[in-house]
């Protein structure tokens, strides 16, 4: 029986490319594995897959009774709704350890790096498995995406070293240019419904018993979002009420100026000032230098909600 490999809900490039890379690795070392996703892929990921000639994984919403590997997450809120009824064989991630538990020992690779695909690069080395050009291209793009072309606070020397190796394998001449091409695709918002933009890179978290949603849109210039910002603000307010959430925050990240404007819908806006020392005004606050949800936003909110 094949094991299914998948990442978090609202899949981003690391989740999709990481699942494909891990399924490929497992299959090559004799364990049949299939990459799947929990939802449709976003425009950036579609660009990456097309560029390197790889088909998008099928969407899957139930894994009860199946063997599974988790990539890019270990939180129940971000996993399949029935993952507790599956046999979790392993986790490959670069976030804090979540609340997933298992009844059996498992393979677990969780490293403090900027991208799951950086961990996967080391796994290929460890198992002495050759990385093909297409898989190298996917992994390279995932790291460039997750580290915001090395600008994110999460980026490490290991991420950069992995990219240098993967660049050569994938035959990429200029990875910085490739990264900018990806973010230009990511920045395209014309004609896209507000809800789709909010959920493009969105995760729910349990913060001291309160359900908190945090989304992020990364663009090459914040002015791109001027025409949709009001709709985004309305939609995060609706999302908050629909899901019984305490708060929904949406980071609008300018990758060139290296900062984020955060839209806020909350039962208690004071948590933002507790977390960042800046008060919310008219439903938003600007956070200079904040690029990473994982390292600069989630930990601050966890302390504020404690």
Same domain, residue pair 158 and 267: no
| Same domain assignment for residues 24 and 146 | yes
pLDDT for the residue numbered 189: 87
The domain boundary, picked from 150, 184, 218, lies at 184
CATH assignment of the domain containing 210:
3.10.310.20
pTM of the entire structure?
0.87
Spatial CA neighbour of 68 closest among 94, 87, 49: 87
Q: How many Cβ atoms from other residues are within 10 Å of residue 53's Cβ?
A: 9
**What is the distance between the alpha carbons of residues 131 and 16, in angstroms, rounded to a whole number?**
17
31 & 148 share domain: yes
Q: Please give the residue range of the domain that contains residue 73.
A: 3-184
Between the CA of residue 16 and those of 7, 9, 209, what are the distances in Å?
A: 7, 11, 29
Could you tell me if residue 295 is inside a domain? yes
Please indicate, yes or no, if residue 166 is contained in any of the structural domains.
Answer: yes
Question: Looking at the structure, do residues 164 and 241 belong to the same domain, yes or no?
Answer: no
Indicate the residue among 149, 165, 184 that finishes a domain. Answer: 184
Please report the pLDDT score of residue 50 as a whole number.
Answer: 98
In a domain, 189, yes or no: no
Beta bridge partner(s), residue 212: 205, 247
Same domain, 269 and 240: yes
Q: Give the domain CATH number at 60.
A: 3.90.1640.10
C-alpha dihedral over 175, 19, 112, 150, to 10 degrees?
20
Beta bridge partners of 33: 3
8 and 87 fall within a common domain: yes
Whether 125 and 9 map to the same domain: the answer is yes
Position 21 in a domain: yes
214 part of a folded domain: yes
Let me know if residue 240 belongs to a domain.
yes
For the chain, the domain total comes to 2
**How far is Cα 141 from Cα 152, in angstroms, rounded to an integer?**
15
Same domain for 166 and 299? no
pLDDT at position 259 = 96
Q: Which of 117, 152, 184 is the last residue of a domain?
A: 184
**Same domain, residue pair 170 and 274:** no
Residues 114, 260: one domain? Answer: no
Looking only at the bridges linking them, the beta strands covering 259-266 and 284-288 are antiparallel
The pLDDT assigned to 191 comes to 86
Phi, psi of 125 (to 5 degrees): -65, -45
Q: What is the pLDDT of residue 1?
A: 82
- Tell whether the torsion through CA atoms of 102, 104, 107 and 111 is positive or negative: positive
Q: Are residues 228 and 169 in the same domain?
A: no
Q: Are residues 226 and 256 in contact, defined by beta-carbon separation less than 8 angstroms? A: no
Residue 135's Cβ-side half-sphere holds a number of Cα atoms within 13 Å equal to: 19
Residues 209 and 231 in one domain: yes
Residue 298 pLDDT: 96
Point out the residues of the chain with pLDDT beneath 70.
Answer: none
- The 3-state secondary structure of the chain reads CCEEEECCCCCCHHHHHHHHHHHHHHHHCCCCEEEEECCCCCHHHHHHHHHCCCCCCEECCCCCCCEEEEECCCCHHHCCCCHHHCEEEEEEECCCCCCCCCCCCCEEEECCCCCHHHHHHHHHHHCCCCCCHHHHHHHHHHHHHHCCCCCCCCCCHHHHHHHHHHHHHHCCCCHHHHHHHHHHHHHCCCCCCHHHHHCCCEEEEEECCEEEEEEEEEECCHHHHCCCHHHHHHHHHHHHHHCCCCEEEEEEEECCCCEEEEEEEECCCHHHHHHHCCCCECCEEEEECCCCHHHHHHHHHHHHHC
Burial 241-270, CB ≥16 within 10 A → b, else e: eeeebbbbbbbbbbbeeebbbbbbbbeeee
């Amino acid at each position: 029986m094949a094991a299914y490999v998948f990442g978090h809900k609202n899949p981003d490039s690391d989740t999709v490319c990481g699942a494909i890379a891990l399924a490929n690795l497992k299959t090559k070392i004799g364990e049949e594995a299939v990459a799947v996703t929990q939802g449709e892929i976003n425009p950036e990921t579609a660009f990456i897959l097309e560029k390197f000639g790889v088909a998008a994984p099928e969407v899957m919403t139930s894994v009860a009774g199946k063997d599974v590997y988790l990539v890019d997450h270990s939180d129940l809120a971000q996993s399949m709704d029935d993952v507790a009824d599956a046999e979790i064989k392993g986790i490959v991630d670069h976030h804090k350890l979540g609340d997933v538990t298992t009844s059996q020992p498992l393979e677990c690779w969780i490293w403090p790096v900027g991208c799951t695909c950086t961990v996967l690069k080391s796994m290929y080395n460890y198992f002495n498995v050759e990385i093909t050009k297409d898989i190298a291209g996917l992994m390279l793009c995932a790291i460039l995406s997750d580290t915001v072309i090395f600008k994110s606070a999460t980026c490490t020397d290991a991420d950069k070293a992995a990219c240098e190796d993967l660049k050569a394998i994938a035959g990429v001449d200029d990875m910085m240019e490739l990264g900018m091409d990806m973010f230009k695709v990511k920045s395209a918002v014309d004609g896209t419904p507000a809800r789709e933009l909010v959920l493009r890179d969105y995760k729910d978290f349990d913060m001291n018993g309160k359900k908190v949603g945090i989304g992020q849109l990364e663009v090459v210039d914040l002015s791109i979002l001027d025409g949709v910002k009001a709709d985004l603000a309305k939609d995060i307010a609706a999302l908050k009420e629909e899901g019984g959430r305490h708060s929904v925050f949406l980071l609008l990240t300018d990758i060139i100026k290296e900062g984020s404007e955060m839209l806020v819908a909350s039962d208690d806006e004071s948590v933002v000032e507790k977390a960042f020392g800046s008060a919310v005004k008219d439903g938003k606050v600007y956070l200079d230098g904040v690029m990473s949800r994982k390292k600069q936003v989630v930990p601050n909110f966890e302390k504020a909600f404690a």
